Structure 1
């Protein structure tokens, strides 16, 4: 697990009140549709927390439901943004 995935899991755990469960998530762990806590309001909070904690802004064209399908899809999106310098 890399640093970005660790940060994503930490933020998921905190924002969704998972009480440590997110630390056991793998890249293929489903998020959207699998976690009842991940509703539209939680997604807004999660986006805000990721941006604030990791120091970037999600480009609007990336904000679709597909990035929240799995831990891996969310981590890959955050990694692309951070590596592209769009922060």
Structure 2
């Protein structure tokens, strides 16, 4: 797991209250984690923006970005300068 992926996992754990739940690039998110409901998605987006200093526009948000930890990490990477 790379550093960015570790950071995304830390934000996920902290925002969703997952404790030390093991996460990897292949870990499914949307539909697999009951904690990741629509309100939690908003909180997670805000947390990612603050942590990484990125801006996520409403029209950029897609369920495909929340399929796995890996797809979420790739999305965050695409938003970084």
TM over 0.5: yes
2:35 corresponds to 1:37 = yes
CA RMSD after TM alignment: 1.0
Provide the residue aligned with 2:16 in structure 1: 16
Aligned length: 81
Shift of 1:62: 2.1
Moved over 3 A (4+): none
Distance 2:19 2:24 in 1: 16
Structure-1-length-normalised TM-score? 0.87
Structure-2-length-normalised TM-score? 0.93
Q: What secondary structure does 2:54 align onto?
A: coil
Distance 2:64 2:51 in 1: 22
Distance 2:3 2:60 in 1: 21
Residue by residue over 1:11-64, the C-alpha shift from the partner in whole angstroms, topping out at 9 and shown as x without a partner, is 00000000110xx21111100000000000000000000000110111333201
2:69 corresponds to 1:71 = yes
Unmatched runs of 5 consecutive residues or more in structure 1: none
